[in-house]
Chains A and B, each alone.
Chain A
């Protein structure tokens, strides 16, 4: 006899609530463990701070030279002042240090080495586990990586404050959403390992393309109008261009809210897409040996 048949209807909600809490607790513990794991490897991130300083410095000099070389009488390039451009460079790279994660690489490794079999027999949802772990990693990055990078590059190159102090809050929210979009996208890329096995090349291609399409390398306003409208329809802008332009005050009022909703919609949409792709891909799993 099914268990539900003997439960009193009044207890349904209580049971659901407890089950929900237990599930949430499970995923929180994955996030916590990931945080602790990365904390153990924090030494590796010290040289990463140097790397990001190099990225910011190189682009700082490049764009400073660009502005110094602009035609006489023109103040702006791509609609930005030099101070805005420098803030753009700093925030793009600092933001990347926070939103970055290796879900794709980790998933691919588990598929190729066969560990995925052990994940599949456990009573949790792999996609949610990976997202929780990425959340733990993001928290680690924020405290031990992004914050030190900010402490180094802001005094060196000068980040101008946003036109309205409220934008600090909106920027943080927007970068949090950017992290979610990026994590979902990485999960989708990781799923390709079920079909291709070795996806190091795909991941490399993705990293190159993303630097460009998220707006980290050059602001979209430098490009022709058709390129800018094309970018509006892709999820990549939600990973860097949107949060950075929120900070610069280029999105105000109605626009600002819409931008954040679009980011959230991409996060949700890609999560659903990830779930679908996962359920199809898992059927492809072939494991070597027995």
Chain B
């Protein structure tokens, strides 16, 4: 049994082409059913649902107020104007929103699936195990971030006198999705660690807390921090580099174009770790 991945413990699937073509549709339908189920349970606390959205708005309001107050004191932050910083901030909300839609389950994976042994159930079902975990509940707030991030970008871009070429418009969603893949990769990697160690330490929170500072122009940080955010924990690619394509100088253009590559690389690496980890999974027993 050990040569097979956790997904394939069940008898081998029908590998004919007709079956293969139907497979994505079948998995899609199952994921849609997960979503409907989640909405039902979420809507049973309607008041809290509304307050949750309000909380998100507050958070955005606070961030914008802080930026506005700080820029009331200066003309530019190490050469970056209010509009440029605002644009980076707006852009950063797009990948974060996309990731929050499906990534919430990675945060408490260790507790919910490994320690409580719920991963047994996941492995018994003939749907990709990662998809099941990620789609078992949704962070609806992500939609909020998508809408507000776009609004902030349009406002900042307008004030900056930005004009989008056809290429820019095509690149924007590509960058946003690639950056979301970086988030997914980083947190999936951290989550997968719990297959080897029971993550009593909670490695995700400190990493999550770095996000709020990755929204500032990278050049305000110490060169060592810049290098860390570029090569080790690639959060420079989730906001600053891709956003700099639109509002930054020439020197960032090439780096911005690497965003999809970094996204795919990060996620693939994390997925390999996840697959190897889930093979190691031995239930809690009993």
Contact = CB atoms under 8 A, between A and B. Distances in A.
B74 A69 contact: yes
Interface stretch (B3-11, B16-24, B55-63, B237-245): B55-63
Interface string B60-73: 00100110011011
Contacts of A68: 78
B25 to A, nearest CB: 35
Given A201-B52, A208-B55, A69 B75 contact: yes
A223 B69 CA distance: 7
B205 interface: yes
Given A44-B202, A47-B206, A78-B73, A204 B213 contact: no
Nearest to B71: A66
Interface string A108-125: 000000000000000000
B202 A47 contact: yes
Given A68-B78, A69-B78, A196-B47, A61 B206 contact: no
Residues of B in contact with A, size category: 35 or more
Nearest to A217: B66
B73 A77 contact: yes
Contact of B55 (A43, A48, A196, A201): A201
Contacts of A26: none
A66 B70 contact: yes
Contacts of A199: 48, 51
A205 B69 contact: no
B62 A212 contact: yes
Interface stretch (A50-58, A144-152, A230-238): A50-58
A38 B234 CA distance: 34
Contacts of B72: 222
Chain B residues touching A, majority SS: helix
A205 B213 contact: no
A217 B151 CA distance: 24
A15 interface: no
Contact of B48 (A43, A78, A200): A200
Interface string A196-219: 111111101100110110000110
Contact of B201 (A44, A54, A78): A44
Contacts of A61: 213, 216, 220-222, 225
A173 interface: no
Contacts of A197: 45, 48
A268 interface: no
Contact of B73 (A48, A70, A202): A70
A202 B66 CA distance: 22
Given A43-B201, A211-B62, A223-B69, A62 B78 contact: no
A1 interface: no
A205 B70 contact: no
A151 B70 CA distance: 29
Contacts of B59: 208
Contacts of B78: 65, 68-69
Contacts of A55: 209
Given A44-B202, A70-B74, A218-B70, A54 B49 contact: no
A57 B225 contact: yes
B200 interface: yes
A289 interface: no
Nearest to A223: B69
Given A47-B203, A62-B216, 11 more contacts: A47-B202, A51-B209, A61-B216, A68-B78, A69-B78, A71-B75, A198-B48, A200-B48, A201-B48, A201-B54, A211-B62
5 contacts: A43-B201, A54-B213, A61-B221, A68-B78, A69-B75
Interface of B: 45, 47-52, 54-55, 58-59, 62, 65-66, 69-70, 72-79, 200-203, 205-206, 209-210, 212-213, 216, 220-222, 225
Interface of A: 43-44, 46-48, 50-51, 54-55, 57-58, 61-62, 64-66, 68-71, 77-78, 196-202, 204-205, 208-209, 211-212, 217-218, 222-223
